[in-house]
Amino acid sequence: MDDLRYAVGGSPIDHSLSPLLFNLVLSHLQANDVLSPRMHHSAAIIETKQIDELLGWAYIEHDLHQPIWQPAKQRLKAFQSRLNAMVSETVHQESNPSLAPILESPRRTVKASKLPTRTSDNEVWLNLTAPLKHQLKSMAFTQIDESLDVLSVNTLRYADQGWYCATTDGFGVVHVAHHFGIDVGNEAILGIHGGGGAARSIASAWMKSGGRVASLGGKRQLPATLVNFKHQTNTEFDLIIDAEGTLDEPPESKFILHPNYTGMDGTLEQRFDRLSLQNHQIDGRWMLAAQHLESWRCLWTPSLAEHLPSLEQLMTWMTIFEHQLDEN
């Protein structure tokens, strides 16, 4: 592969850590001689509420709709060289022991036979966030899972003159749940507030993994086909996800995950404490990192799945990098 372009699109997007995750995983694979260190790559953030604008960038790269990347406080394109240098140092750091998994997550099965047998030249990889996940409905896109069926596409790959799509939010959450000690396949109970693209992906993956899903309401609620449990007043949930960020009084649960992550401050040790598996509140960075790894594993480079970093490694590197940016 001689040229690889990556972008994440949505609105708002200037805070997104997905470009950092992309560069961290890529640098790890290059450092371990899995991908060529001479491969040219680029990353961008596209501020848009229309999927056509993001797809337009994929066909013809341009500088439109690219805001200041807030983690670096400058445009991502101008920061790319420094980003590469910082990332290449970060990926040699050992994972923080406090982030080690309690349970290993099972891997899902996808329709890999539909994908190109090898990574081709000049590929484009995309991640989508709100409000783009439900906008992709064209039959020109080959789905490797149920992404189009549940109207929740968050990962795209353009290769060999064709488009391929997947949904990774759901199995990212399943991965995080096992990481924190929740055995989803043992009928673990998940409560979801909201019914948007991420919520539908999560509900579908949780049920496919053997768990039970209850709707906790919201502006948009889950369709009946993605609910298989009706909670009672005495129900203790294994995990609750506030997909809309408006759940004032959540029912009793072992863990609560907030997909929308905010800025993190404090010393490096304080940041790792905040991300510790001992916390009742699960930072949204866990979901982000897990779904990003799932994008590599199931759609972008399934043949390299065994070479990807672990979730705790990626979380460690992201935390170190964010701290370094704040210190400079």
Domain ranges of the chain: 3-168+289-309, 171-286
Residue 85 has pLDDT above 90, yes or no: yes
Under DSSP, is residue 25 helix (H, G, I), strand (E, B) or coil? Answer: helix
Q: Is the dihedral of CA 297, 257, 67, 156 positive or negative?
A: positive
Q: What is the C-alpha to C-alpha distance for residues 61 and 48, in angstroms, rounded to an integer?
A: 15
Which pairing describes strands 68-69 and 74-75: parallel, antiparallel, or unpaired?
A: antiparallel
Those residues whose C-beta lies under 8 Å from the C-beta of residue 327, and which sit 6 or more positions away, are none
Q: Which CATH number does the domain 3-168+289-309 belong to among 3.30.420.10, 3.30.200.20, 3.40.50.10860, 2.40.160.40?
A: 3.40.50.10860
Per-residue confidence at 108, pLDDT binned at 50, 70, 90? Answer: confident
Q: What is the C-alpha to C-alpha distance for residues 141 and 158, in angstroms, rounded to an integer?
A: 9
Q: Are 3-168+289-309 and 171-286 in the same CATH fold?
A: yes
Going from the C-alpha of 282 to that of each of 56, 79, 205, 323, the distances in angstroms are 35, 30, 19, 19
Per-residue confidence at 182, pLDDT binned at 50, 70, 90? Answer: very high
Residues found in the chain:
328
DSSP string, 43-98: EEEEE-S-HHHHHHHHHS---TT--EETTTTEEHHHHHHHHHHHHHHHTTSPPPGG
Q: What is the C-alpha to C-alpha distance for residues 275 and 51, in angstroms, rounded to an integer?
A: 33
**CB burial string 88-127: b at 16+ within 10 A, e below:** bebbeeebbeebebeeebeebebeeeebeeebeeebbbbb
Per-residue confidence at 114, pLDDT binned at 50, 70, 90? Answer: confident
Distance, first Cα to last Cα, the chain? 34
CA 12 to chain centre: 16
For 198-239, the three-class secondary structure string (H helix, E strand, C coil) is: HHHHHHHHHHHCCCEEEECCCCCCCCHHHCCCCCCCCCCEEE
pLDDT one-digit tens code per residue, 246-285: 998 899 999 999 999 988 999 999 999 999 999 999 999 9
Per-residue confidence at 115, pLDDT binned at 50, 70, 90? Answer: confident
Fold type of domain 171-286: Rossmann fold (3.40.50)
Residue 118 has pLDDT above 90, yes or no: no
